[in-house]
C-alpha cells in the first residue's frame, strides 16, 4: 500500500462512524447502512486519485448517493407482508371436503331426477339443461307450451323440496341461481 492509499484508508476509518450514522439514518436499518458504507469504500478505492483532494466530502457524497439509490430500490420492492398477501390467495378450486359434498349432492340429484315421471324428467332436462325452447318441447311431447311450463315448475319444485329435505344446496339445480 502506498502513502496515498494509506492516507485514504485512514481518512475512511476516521470518517466511518459518521458515514455509518448517516447511512443508517437514511435507510432505517443498521445492516443496510453497513452495506452502503462498504459499497462506498469500494467506490472510493476505485477512484482514489480523484478522492485525495477532499476524501471525507467525497465519501459522504458517495454514501448519500448510495442511500438514495437504496431508497429508490426499496420503494419498488414489495414488503414481506405484501408478498404474503399476494401468496395467500384462496384457491378457486374446491377442497376435498367441498368436492365430496358436491359429489354427494349430485348423486342425490340424479336419484331425484330418476324418480320423476319420464315425461316430467325429459321436459326438465330439455328445458333446463339443453335450453330448448318450450315450443319445441311442447311439439315433441304433443302438449301445449303452458303444460311444458307447468311440468318444468313442478319438476323444479319437487327437486328443490327433496334436495332441501336432505340438507342439499341449491347450486346443483340447473338454471337456478343460489
Q: Is the pLDDT of residue 177 over 50?
A: no
Domain range for 143: 96-165
* CATH code at position 117: 1.10.10.10
Domain boundary residue among 87, 110, 131?
A: 87
Confidence of residue 75 (pLDDT cuts 50, 70, 90): confident
> What are the pLDDT digits (tens) for 105-157?
999 999 999 999 999 999 999 999 999 999 999 999 999 999 999 999 999 99
DSSP 58-108: HHHHHHHHHHHHHHHHHHHSPPHHHHHHHH-PPPSS--HHHHHHHHHHHHH
Residues 83 and 7 in one domain: yes
Q: Is the pLDDT of residue 37 over 80?
A: yes
What is the distance between the alpha carbons of residues 143 and 139, in angstroms, rounded to a whole number?
6
Q: In terms of pTM, does the model score above 0.75?
A: no
Amino acid at each position: 500500500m502506498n502513502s496515498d492509499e494509506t492516507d485514504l484508508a485512514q481518512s475512511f476509518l476516521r470518517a466511518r462512524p459518521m458515514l455509518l450514522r448517516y447511512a443508517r439514518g437514511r435507510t432505517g436499518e443498521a445492516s443496510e447502512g453497513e452495506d452502503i458504507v462498504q459499497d462506498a469504500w469500494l467506490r472510493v478505492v476505485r477512484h482514489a486519485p480523484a478522492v485525495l483532494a477532499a476524501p471525507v466530502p467525497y465519501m459522504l457524497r458517495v454514501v448519500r448517493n448510495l442511500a438514495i439509490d437504496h431508497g429508490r430500490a426499496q420503494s419498488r420492492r414489495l414488503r414481506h407482508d405484501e408478498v404474503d398477501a399476494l401468496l395467500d390467495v384462496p384457491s378457486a378450486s374446491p377442497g376435498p371436503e367441498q368436492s365430496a359434498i358436491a359429489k354427494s349432492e349430485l348423486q342425490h340429484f340424479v336419484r331425484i331426477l330418476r324418480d320423476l315421471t319420464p315425461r316430467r324428467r325429459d321436459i326438465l332436462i330439455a328445458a333446463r339443461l339443453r335450453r330448448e325452447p318450450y315450443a319445441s318441447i311442447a311439439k315433441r311431447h304433443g302438449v301445449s307450451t303452458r303444460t311444458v311450463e307447468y311440468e318444468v315448475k313442478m319438476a323444479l319444485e319437487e327437486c328443490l323440496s327433496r334436495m332441501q329435505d336432505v340438507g342439499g344446496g341449491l347450486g346443483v339445480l340447473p338454471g337456478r341461481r343460489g
